[in-house]
Amino acid sequence: MKLIIPKLNDPRWPFVGMFFIYTTYTILSNDFGRSFLQLFSVVLTIVSADYIYNLKFKRLNLLPLSGLITALGLSFLVFSSYVWPFIVIGLVASLAKNLIRLRGQHIFNPNNFGVVFGLTLLGDFVSTNTGRWNNQFLLTLSIVLLGALVSHRAKRLVLSVSFVLLFLIVAFIRSQLFDQNLDVLLIPMTGPIFYVYSFFHITDPITSPVRTRNQLLFALAIVLADATLRFYEVKFSLFYGLFSVHLTRAIVIECLTRLHVIPPIGRESRI
């Protein structure tokens, strides 16, 4: 059986390239405490799991490009002093993508599911790289520019830009309504990881909307979920916010489908 390799115009290839660049940076930089063994373990775990699943259940000898994106994304976002959490989180992310599905389509961003799983159940051993980024202007600028290109290629630029703008607007509204310091509310926007989240994390082509209007609504939902969680002082609110939006969105899609308001979802998201 011939190995199927996704075409070069597949919107996932730019994500692979960008994650590879920044993952390499985290390994070479002393600021992150990342090792090649951790990267290798999570890549091997997810790529192998995806490949075996596709071969056994779909009869496809397919290069698991989505699995590679998930692996690079997790190795980039997750921090641990150990190797085994990367293996566990990687396996859980792969299983979630292949087993937690709605009408044939996975409903959770595998990267996000893996991060949330690690933070929730392996909190003593796992954190995120949020606090390990130096707030370097050139690094942030490179992420924004490259992220904009990748988002545009994936037809998710509206989602990325609207999320950043809505985060700013909601922060201003919160400062006025609750008499909070605007500078404090905008601290997340000063770090490179915020823009990694905006341009690479929420823009997963399978679990984010296609239509422009729905991308705006999706961005607004994430911002409001994050603001609510921050109000209750929930740590890592951006990741938990996206997780809650994915879950809510899946429920809404299923209800609207059962009521025949929208047609059954296919390869691309409808809402």
Position with higher pLDDT, 253 vs 38: 38
Q: Does residue 27 sit in the same domain as residue 55?
A: yes
> Tens of pLDDT along 52-64?
999 999 999 999 9
In a domain, 263, yes or no: no
> Tens of pLDDT along 41-90?
999 999 999 999 999 999 999 999 999 999 998 988 898 999 999 999 99
Strand positions, DSSP E, the chain:
78-79, 101-102, 105-106, 127-128
Poorest-pLDDT segment among 18-27, 81-90, 249-258: 18-27
Instruction: Give how many domains the chain has, as a whole number.
Output: 2
Question: Quick check: 267 pLDDT over 60?
Answer: no
Poorest-pLDDT segment among 81-90, 133-142, 181-190: 133-142
Contacts of 231 (CB under 8 A, 6+ apart): 174, 178
Q: What is the mean pLDDT of residues 244-270?
A: 79
Do residues 110 and 92 touch, judged by C-beta distance below 8 A?
no
Contacts of 89 (CB under 8 A, 6+ apart): 42, 74, 78, 114, 115, 117, 118, 122, 126
Which range scores top for mean pLDDT: 62-66, 166-170, 254-258, 259-263?
Answer: 166-170
Q: Does residue 126 sit in the same domain as residue 141?
A: no
Q: Does residue 53 sit in the same domain as residue 71?
A: yes
Which range scores top for mean pLDDT: 24-28, 193-197, 215-219?
Answer: 215-219
Question: Quick check: 164 pLDDT over 90?
Answer: yes
In a domain, 6, yes or no: no
Q: Does residue 57 sit in the same domain as residue 107?
A: yes
- 146-162 burial, b at 16+ Cβ within 10 Å, e below that, comes to bbbebbbbbbbbbbbbb
Q: Does residue 241 sit in the same domain as residue 150?
A: yes
Q: Does residue 109 sit in the same domain as residue 206?
A: no
**DSSP-assigned beta bridge partners for residue 78:** 128
* pLDDT value of position 24: 85
In a domain, 120, yes or no: yes
* CA pair distance 228, 190, nearest whole angstrom: 20
Q: Does residue 53 sit in the same domain as residue 80?
A: yes
In a domain, 106, yes or no: yes
State the residue range of the domain holding 229.
136-258
Q: What does pLDDT average to over the chain?
A: 90
> Tens of pLDDT along 192-211?
889 999 999 999 988 999 99
Question: Which tokens sit at 164?
Answer: 């950043």
Question: Quick check: 37 pLDDT over 90?
Answer: yes
Taking CA atoms, 234 is separated from 22, 164, 229, 237, 241, in Å, by 27, 20, 5, 6, 10
* pLDDT value of position 135: 63
Q: In the chain, pLDDT over 70 holds for what percent of residues?
A: 95
